[in-house]
């Protein structure tokens, strides 16, 4: 048996269980990708909050809907991530940031991982159904786009996998809004467009930093297939796409519009300045960190301006 085959058995790496000392809770957090769940929770809550604000409804009078939405969206996202781990268990040992996942170390059986993912999605769907049918359908569309369109289809076959994966990442604010207002105001779609356009520059920057790992895993990320020069052009293009989006959110007021525009221009300026930085990885790191701060600031600001 070759080393590559010996490294995996039933899709999980045959590593000594004591190589990675983790608790059951940490393993669970790794399986559901808690970082992704938390970041999407911010956008879900913002969509919900804005729907309550613009429909004139009270936050305290809708605590049940808020709970169902937060719990439901978090569970279906967590379940989708678990299934992603299940599918990718044959390549995760090739990447530094994923090689310690319990699906790789063999601490959790693949069948149990798949069962957990399905259970979480089913439970989350039940919670969303307690809000509106629209929120439930959107949630399931998000699951379909992440599990089937991205994980099972495009991730390993298409260089456009990041764009296709951005659909599921843009769904959470729609879920939040639809849980309160099933009619989906233009504001809700503006949040969707914002999240869709934010993801390519964010993940392309990450892919540049992890290009050797993606190459080893055989994943056709843009930097792997087209190189850094083309990737940098795509990143700057998608940041430029963000420029007019704040005008779709004009209902949030002029102060928010100014803040959003400053964030967009700042990101674009950083991207263009990157062409003067000879170290592409350093530039990618700057763009990645900016993208994280951008997302947090702009979505928190949406909530804050409605409180003034």
- Do 192 and 218 lie in one domain? The reply is yes
- Do 53 and 142 lie in one domain? The reply is yes
**Is residue 98 very low, low, confident or very high in pLDDT (cuts 50, 70, 90)?**
confident
Q: Does residue 189 register a pLDDT over 90?
A: yes
- Do 128 and 7 lie in one domain? The reply is yes
Which pLDDT score is estimated for 22? 67
Mean pLDDT of the chain: 92
Between the CA of residue 252 and those of 249, 279, 304, 305, what are the distances in Å? 6, 39, 10, 7
Which pLDDT score is estimated for 69? 98
Cα gap 292→134, rounded to integer Å: 29
**Residue 17 is assigned to a structural domain of this protein:** no
- Do 172 and 137 lie in one domain? The reply is yes
- Do 170 and 211 lie in one domain? The reply is no
pLDDT tens column, 267-298: 999 999 877 888 999 999 999 999 999 999 99
- Do 174 and 200 lie in one domain? The reply is no
Which pLDDT score is estimated for 2? 38
- Do 80 and 137 lie in one domain? The reply is yes
Q: What are phi and psi of 100, to 5 degrees?
A: -100, 5
**Residue 61 is assigned to a structural domain of this protein:** yes
What is the count of structural domains for the chain?
2
Higher pLDDT, 286 or 98: 286
Considering the entire predicted model, what is its pTM? 0.90
- Do 166 and 226 lie in one domain? The reply is no
- Do 215 and 243 lie in one domain? The reply is yes
| CB half-sphere exposure, 144, CA atoms < 13 A | 6
Q: Does residue 160 register a pLDDT over 80?
A: yes
pLDDT tens column, 15-52: 444 444 568 899 899 999 999 999 999 999 999 999 99
Which pLDDT score is estimated for 9? 37
pLDDT tens column, 226-257: 999 999 999 999 999 999 999 999 999 999 99
- Do 266 and 206 lie in one domain? The reply is yes
**Domain C-terminal end among 184, 210, 238:** 184
Closest CA to 91 of 221, 4, 204, 164: 4
- Do 174 and 191 lie in one domain? The reply is no
Q: Which domain holds residue 275?
A: 186-308
Tokens 């392309």, residue located: 204
**Residue 45 is assigned to a structural domain of this protein:** yes
**Residue 3 is assigned to a structural domain of this protein:** yes
CA end-to-end span of the chain: 66
- Do 54 and 112 lie in one domain? The reply is yes
Return the beta strands (E) in the chain as ranges: 8-9, 12-13
| CB half-sphere exposure, 211, CA atoms < 13 A | 16
**Is residue 97 very low, low, confident or very high in pLDDT (cuts 50, 70, 90)?**
confident
């Amino acid at each position: 048996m070759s080393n590559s085959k010996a490294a995996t058995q039933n899709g999980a790496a045959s590593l000594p269980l004591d190589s990675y000392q983790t608790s059951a809770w940490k393993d669970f957090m790794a399986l559901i990708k808690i970082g992704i769940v938390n970041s999407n929770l911010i956008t879900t809550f913002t969509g919900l909050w804005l729907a309550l604000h613009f429909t004139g409804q009270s936050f305290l009078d809708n605590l049940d809907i808020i709970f169902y939405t937060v719990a439901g969206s978090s569970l279906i996202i967590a379940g989708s991530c678990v299934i992603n781990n299940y599918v990718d268990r044959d390549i995760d040992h090739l990447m530094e940031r994923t090689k310690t996942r319990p699906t790789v170390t063999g601490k959790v059986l693949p069948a149990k991982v798949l069962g957990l993912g399905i259970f979480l999605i089913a439970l989350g769907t039940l919670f969303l159904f307690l809000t509106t049918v629209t929120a439930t359908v959107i949630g399931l569309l998000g699951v379909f786009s992440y599990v089937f369109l991205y994980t099972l289809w495009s991730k390993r076959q298409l260089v456009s996998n990041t764009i296709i994966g951005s659909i599921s990442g843009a769904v959470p604010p729609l879920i939040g809004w639809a849980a309160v207002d099933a009619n989906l105001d233009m504001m809700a779609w503006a949040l969707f467009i914002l999240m869709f356009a934010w993801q390519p520059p964010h993940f392309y920057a990450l892919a540049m930093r992890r290009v050797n790992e993606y190459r080893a895993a055989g994943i056709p990320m843009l930097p792997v297939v087209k190189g850094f020069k083309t990737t940098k052009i795509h990143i700057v293009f998608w940041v430029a796409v963000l420029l007019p989006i704040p005008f779709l959110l004009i209902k949030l007021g002029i102060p928010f519009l100014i803040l959003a525009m400053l964030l967009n221009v700042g990101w674009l300026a950083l991207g263009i300045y990157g062409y003067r930085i000879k170290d592409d990885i350093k530039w990618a790191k700057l763009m990645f960190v900016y993208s994280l701060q951008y997302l947090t600031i702009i979505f928190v600001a949406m909530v804050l301006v409605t409180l003034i």
